[in-house]
Amino acid sequence: MTTFQELGVSLETVSSLNDMGFFNPTGIQEETIPYVLSGIDVLAQAQTGSGKTGAFGIPLIERISKDGGIQALILAPTRELAQQVGEQLRLMSKNKNFKVSIIFGGTSIERQIKDIKKSPQIIVGTPGRIIDHINRKTLKLDTVTNIVLDEADEMLNMGFIDDVRFILSKVENNYQTLLFSATMPKPIMELAKQFMTDYKVVKTMSLEELNPNIEEFASLLKESEKLSALEGFLEVHNPKLAIIFGRTKKRVDELSSALSAKGYLSEGLHGDITQSKRLEILKKFKNNTIQILVATDVAARGIDISGVTHVYNFDMPQDTESYTHRIGRTGRAGNSGVAVTFLNPVEMPYLRDIESKKGERMKMLRPYTEKEINKARYSRIIDEVEQGLKKDLTNLNSLTEKLLDLDNAEKIITVLLDKIINTKTEVNIELSYERPLTRKESKNNRSRGFRRDRKDKRNNRKNSDKSRSDKKFFDKKGKRTKK
Ligand code: ADP
Ligand code: MG
């Protein structure tokens, strides 16, 4: 196995990396680090979770120095990503004593100004807030020698391209450009040509090759059947950590409220959730205080969470790429994962696209029957009782005696079981109707219908984090309220 040292990384940095638990480079790091160290521009593509931050971060900190002013500028599409990248860079450069300022909107600009005055070597930020600082003249880029566009595909999707162009125009030096992306669609290649002249393209294997451990299923469901089908899957699969993807913010709100009302430990994540709340939710998810994260594509994009055992696409993703990203949240680092995609019968062409990319048919999963669900619940209760028997529960003895005074043990157990089993099923909730994806033209008359189809997809994407209908809404307790 290659070592960081063999790639030309200094001992000082290797030791910081070891402290982070990085002992050998990942595939993308092994390929990219030597190029970046030599000063060449790089366009790199690798799936989410493959270690792209290290691929640019490690060589970057080797190329800059403590007293050269702000030398590296890293642009990321969202606050979370900026935060994650910034924190990783702090750890990677720990032995070099570099200062990393993380700059994004939604928090105090004054504090950021103070932070920038402490002369960091590295700035990580979202384009909007960086531009604010440039315009206020609180951030000068005249010493910058290295620029990274992280999650470049997402920056394009989110419409940041003009912002990026503006920021780059403010850098006068000859700088090294690194463009990192999870996918490499045409617009990214064009972007690379625009911003770089001589550059290396580094690609790693496809998600499918890297992730043979994801078991993928599809389930054909009418809109009105989705919620109860989901419950059945959750009961039988009993995920340790699950992400459920919904198409709109409203959908995410309703679904996470519904799941909470049904007794699941669940939270929703989408673009309208405040920054501090988001970080709090992610933390809860990471330390297992919530079991289910309901999210829109945008909100979940690029966020690094390991240990996700199940992904449920409650709504069909817009396209194959989005599908690949979503299911890539599970089955990481050699763990196995399960991905279940719900689809409305009219969305079948979208499934066919995914299948043709995969090169195989998807396994279909029908919703579980009540009998199957109960069987799973019962066997779990038996397991839990077995575990419980090993525990010291003497503190409950007096309660036990009081209960046994009421009737015989068998009857008491049955009453308690009824309480346990039926807590999750009492609430009856209906979600608002969500329109399925726009119908695609069939393959044989594609040439005629293609353009329209593309446009529709674009519109869908634009709306993807927006609510579409507002007939009903549910409060936290799952009660239906008029909005
Ligand atoms: P990407 O940007 O490609 O989605 P990240 O850079 O966020 O991926 O890395 C994903 C996870 O892998 C992070 O938790 C990171 O700490 C870990 N990681 C990255 N490089 C290494 C390495 N060389 N050894 C061990 N873990 C690593
Ligand atoms: Mg990343």
Q: Which ligand gives the minimal distance to the CA of 88?
A: 1
Query: Is the CB–ligand 1 distance for residue 157 below 6 Å?
Result: no
Query: Is the CB–ligand 1 distance for residue 181 below 6 Å?
Result: no
Rounded to whole angstroms, how far apart are CA atoms 354 and 344?
15
Please say if the pLDDT value at position 274 is more than 50: yes
For residue 218, give the amino acid letter. Answer: A
Please say if the pLDDT value at position 481 is more than 50: no
Rg (CA), the chain: 25
DSSP state of 310: E
**Long-range interactions of 191-198: CB distance < 8 A, separation 24+:** 191/149, 191/152, 191/156, 191/161, 192/43, 195/149, 195/168, 196/41, 196/43, 197/41, 198/40, 198/41
Query: How distant is the alpha carbon of residue 328 from its chain centre?
Result: 9
Determine the pLDDT at residue 463: 42
User: What mean pLDDT is reported for the chain?
Assistant: 84
Determine the pLDDT at residue 445: 39
The pTM of the full predicted model, rounded to 2 decimals, is: 0.53
- 253, 268 Cβ separation under 8 angstroms: yes
Determine the pLDDT at residue 85: 97
Per-residue pLDDT, averaged over 212-226, amounts to 88
Please say if the pLDDT value at position 455 is more than 80: no
- Closest ligand 1 atom to residue 304 Cα is 7
Determine the pLDDT at residue 459: 42
Looking at ligand 1, which residue's alpha carbon is closest to its atom 15? 51
Determine the pLDDT at residue 439: 63
For residue 284, give the amino acid letter. Answer: K
Lowest mean pLDDT segment, chosen from 202-211, 263-272, 348-357: 202-211
Residue scoring higher pLDDT (7 or 470): 7
Question: 239-243, 425-429, 431-435, 475-479: which has the highest mean pLDDT?
Answer: 239-243
Query: Is the CB–ligand 1 distance for residue 48 below 6 Å?
Result: yes
pLDDT band at 449 (very low <50, low <70, confident <90, very high): very low
Looking at ligand 1, which residue's alpha carbon is closest to its atom 22? 22
Query: Is the CB–ligand 1 distance for residue 22 below 6 Å?
Result: yes
Looking at ligand 1, which residue's alpha carbon is closest to its atom 12? 51
pLDDT, one tens digit per residue, over 201-216 is 998 765 444 545 788 9
Determine the pLDDT at residue 304: 65
Q: Which ligand gives the minimal distance to the CA of 52?
A: 1
Residue pointed to by tokens 């419950």: 231
- Closest ligand 1 atom to residue 48 Cα is 4
Determine the pLDDT at residue 426: 58
Per-residue pLDDT, averaged over 112-133, amounts to 96
Rounded to whole angstroms, how far apart are CA atoms 306 and 54?
17
Query: Is the CB–ligand 1 distance for residue 53 below 6 Å?
Result: yes
Rounded to whole angstroms, how far apart are CA atoms 42 and 200?
5
Ligand 1 centroid – CA 53 distance (Å)? 7
Please say if the pLDDT value at position 184 is more than 90: no
Please say if the pLDDT value at position 406 is more than 50: yes
Nearest-CA neighbor of 277 among 449, 80, 90? Answer: 80
Looking at ligand 1, which residue's alpha carbon is closest to its atom 14? 304
Ligand 2 centroid – CA 460 distance (Å)? 25
Please say if the pLDDT value at position 475 is more than 50: no
pLDDT, one tens digit per residue, over 5-25 is 999 999 999 999 999 999 999
Rounded to whole angstroms, how far apart are CA atoms 345 and 22?
46
Rounded to whole angstroms, how far apart are CA atoms 231 and 219?
13
Residue scoring higher pLDDT (276 or 208): 276
Strand partners, 469: none
Ligand 1 pocket test: which of 26, 32, 61, 210 has the largest number of ligand atoms within 8 Å of its C-beta?
26
pLDDT, one tens digit per residue, over 27-44 is 899 999 999 999 999 999
pLDDT band at 448 (very low <50, low <70, confident <90, very high): very low
Determine the pLDDT at residue 303: 66
Per-residue pLDDT, averaged over 170-193, amounts to 88
Per-residue pLDDT, averaged over 356-377, amounts to 88
Determine the pLDDT at residue 112: 95
Ligand 1 centroid – CA 288 distance (Å)? 20
Counting residues of the chain whose pLDDT is more than 70, the rounded percentage is: 86
